[in-house]
Amino acid sequence: MSATMDVDKPAAEQTIDEGLYSRQIYAIGLDAMKKMAASNVLIIGMKGLGVELAKNVVLAGVKSVTIYDPEPAQLADLSSQFFLTEQDVGKRRDHVTQPKLAELNQYVPVSVLDGEFALDRLQAFQVVVVTSATLHRVMEINDYTHAHGIKFIAVDTRGLAAFAFCDFGAGFEVTDATGEPAHFGMLAAISSDKEGVVTCLDETRHGLEDGDHVTFTEVVGMDGLNDCAPRKVKVLGPFTFSIGDTTGLGQYVRGGIFKQVKMPVKLDFKSVSASIKDPEYLFSDFAKFDVPPQLHAAFYALSEFVAQHGRVPVPRNEDDAAEVLAKAKAFAATLKDPVEVNEKLVKLFAYQAAGDLSPMAAVLGGLMAQEVLKACSGKFHPLKQYLYFDSFESLPQSYSLTQSKCAMRGTRYDGQIAVFGSDFQRRIQESRKFLVGSGAIGCEMLKNWAMMGVGTSGDGQIFVTDMDSIEKSNLNRQFLFRPWDVSKLKSATAAAAVRNMNGELQITTFTDRVGADTEHIFNDAFWGQLDVVTNALDNVDARKYVDRRCVFYNKPLLESGTLGTKGNTQVILPHKTESYSSSQDPPEKSIPICTLKNFPNQIEHTIQWARDLFEGLFRQPAENVNLYLSEPKFIEQTMRSNSARDTLASVKEFLVDQRPRSFEECIQWARLKFEELYVNNIKQLLYNFPKDSVTSTGQMFWSGPKRAPEALAFDKTNPLHMDFVVHAAHLHAFNYGLRSVEDRQVYVDVLDAMVIPEFVPKEGVKIQVNEAEAAAAASSGGDSSSGGDELDQLVASLPAPSTMAGFKLTAADFEKDDDSNHHIDFITACSNLRATNYNIAVADRTHTKQIAGKIIPAIATTTALVTGLVCLELYKLLDNNKPLEQFKNGFVNLALPFFGFSEPIAAPKLKYNGKEFTLWDRFEVANMTLGELLAYFEKEHQLEITMMSSGVSMLYSFFMPKKKVDERKGLKLSDLVETVSKKPVPAHAKSIVVEVCCNDAEGEDVEVPYILVRL
């Protein structure tokens, strides 16, 4: 099929399937998505690197992708080309790849550029990508694209080395260089001066940098700043910055909000031909500052070698390597800044340049697919202009690498054997891996392992577990799944998909969570057989549990994670590094209760308030009613809690006072809720604290972070007002199993017939104005603290459960990804009405969904890159006893783009009695008696055990009564644990962990390892 596509639909008209792209929208934004959806992309080269890049671009959602690679597929391509099979060998790569790429995204047509390749055909595309081509071929195509204003990307991997290049032409506009949220904050002061100084409220850090731009709103007094043109910032300190001349704008009185404005940046790019002698590098590893110029010369030399010989250098061939070295030296001498060639490095490059590795394709395919999206959208800062990346430290040190060991063998793994040799290939194939999770990272990991041949021969095996099922939103980045897989189990579906990629895979799937409750499944025998554990999890608690298991069983762990365009990798090595749990992120900042309840000043506050209200209206009351009707001790237990009055009142309200019998009554309930939340409560707040209130210090009460609200007046012609009523009525009806009505005229008729009671302010209502008052109210029960008589009356007013046999409410369990359930729609309307009360800018449904659903931004490009980095570390793990300094933890941000690598942190060392130990060490003892253990520690380790526990059970302490100690000293440790905990030791358990406190030989308290009791 010939490609003659054009951009025929403006970006503004593009409709984006938010159900599919939701996580990606939060990573790059809806505007960028619309620009991408108007871009046609050509990708030349469909080996492993090309298909990896194409896969990521198709998943991201451009207008169309056209591929071109007329060369016949070879068996060695299967080292990295995951959409080829043995049956495709000899067929055109692009023809056999196109149908599988087309399956990835129904919104992105994928076609083949058939017919003769001519440069003028490139004008049908906005972006042209050349993969796995020589530099001479790259220059030929780039000269044409540069002259015709077509954005151009080139990328190539040769074994463990890679080259990437971007040319987006002259005047390329970047709309948002970082993708970070715009900073904003409240103001305390602005000076009237030639260099006006802005001070933030309550020493809140502004987060700005020199050169940023800001504008202002709600400034009282200095009105000339409100909605001003963006002003350039000079940072004076963490809480202050200057904005230029502020004289003549008025005198600052109070209030005001600054907001950062992202200013477009224009960049000029050169072609390869114009820049190859004077390249501009982006450094991928600051520990290898001198490597990019070396690889620049090496890749050029390789291109000349291929042009001369029609082939790449033979693996580990000295003559070919020497010829590449000579060509590199000749080229390096012609550079604007000539470099002295590192002979060892360039020869190493030549030795393995015939290699084709899936992890390298994943790293560069992820990185450069993001560059394609930047070219289409202008979102994020592009690569400018050359990047060289290598992972030569992944080469094995304990395996022989000779020309015969690295020779092609006519197998699908030849691309890997050319780099690592046949012996190390056997080590990979016979390795046993455990993958925890088969979501986004898990899918990419399995694909890489299938290409590498992990667990494909002998005792080799892959174990994968995931308890989740596939959802529509997964399809945008979990590329092993297709629309027809939705609702199937992830682990089994992913395993079947990678078996189709490599039929030799020996893979076992589980659908169990890895946790304390599944230790009978993932037991000692299971963990004992593993070589490496890899986490592909999305929550910290699960990661920490797997981490503890790896420490316990002395297993290496490969850890990784992504957040939008950011990604990280971590290597955990037994007895060498700290563990994943050794460090942790600071806790998320919570919103103060009084801010949520009465004084919101940001849309995040109103969204959280709406999310809490959803639980308080549609889940918790229904659950309380069901508990009252089904649990005989519900009243007794409730009466002992601080929230007794609120709980019983909600049961009475939902079971008696306001129980609807028809949908019309649900509409009435929703309308009264509107009046309560957005009218009466606001009027009561203003009755307690009028707008002209002052504090005890004479300051205006409604100032600083406290925004004075306005009560709303319900208007059935206002869509936002009606949205609240409609979605609240639907959810209330759902609780009671009543049939909903969609006809809006029914709502109008019911609302017209209603008479809304006038608001009468209440005296003596206590409103907490700061955190101290809110905490005191919470600890004392707040409004819920009531006399026994009132509670007794509430209980007496409830119908006896026996009279309500069979009645049950349906609680609404929050689900963010079902667009038909009214959950996000209610929260959006609810939040935006409250924002309107407080004159806060409202948020659209997409933004509300992200915050209310705590959705983590995600995009396939970052996931692919991160898993590639993990697999480069896996090569190192399989090479026995590689020194710690060869391993790397990584942090990347594709938006900038930025790479940062560091040596893993060594395990901290502790001492007792002069003996060093780390978190990986422990005492191992037989199942002896307590008395024997105490004596053994005194004699063998010169340690006096002062306390001993297992889990939450205290087994022994120096202050226990002597009689109890004597009784316990005669018990075997397993019997002691069972006696004290009153629980049997699980049948599958082969050991017990005991924690001890000890005194050393000098009688000082010392930290010591735990004790493992072998059963």
Q: At what angle do helices 823-837 and 845-852 cross, to 10 degrees?
A: 100
Tokens 């939040």 label which residue? 831
Q: Catalytic pick from 166, 376, 550, 594?
A: 594
Tokens matching residue 198: 């802005």
Measured between alpha carbons, how far is residue 354 from residues 53, 135, 157, 315, 839 in Å? 20, 16, 10, 6, 64
The torsion angles phi and psi of 233, rounded to 5 degrees, stand at -100, 140
| Catalytic residue status for 998 | no
Whether 491 contacts 511, CB under 8 Å: yes
Q: At what angle do helices 719-736 and 663-675 cross, to 10 degrees?
A: 130
**Amino acid (one-letter) located at 511:** T
Coil, strand or helix at 796: helix
Measured between alpha carbons, how far is residue 257 from residues 181, 260, 263, 692, 897 in Å? 16, 10, 19, 21, 31
d(CA 476, CA 473): 6
- Residues 6 or more apart whose CB falls under 8 angstroms from that of 970 comprise 929, 930, 931
Measured between alpha carbons, how far is residue 17 from residues 33, 79, 105, 824, 848 in Å? 10, 34, 11, 16, 17
Q: Is 115 exposed, middle or buried (0-12, 13-18, 19+ CB in 10 A)?
A: exposed
**Residue 812 C-beta-side C-alpha neighbours within 13 Å:** 31
d(CA 1013, CA 929): 11
Burial 744-761 (b: 16+ CB within 10 A, else e): eeebeebbeeeeeeebee
Strands 386-390 and 234-237: unpaired
Measured between alpha carbons, how far is residue 178 from residues 175, 365, 896 in Å? 9, 21, 6
Tokens 């018990």 label which residue? 971
Dihedral sign for Cα 397, 401, 405, 406, please. positive
DSSP state of 602: S
DSSP-assigned letters across all residues of 396-439: -SSS---TTTTS--SSTTHHHHHHHHHHHHHHHHT-EEEEE--S
DSSP state of 679: I
Tokens 């890749």 label which residue? 299
d(CA 914, CA 436): 39
Coil, strand or helix at 204: coil
List the catalytic residues: 594
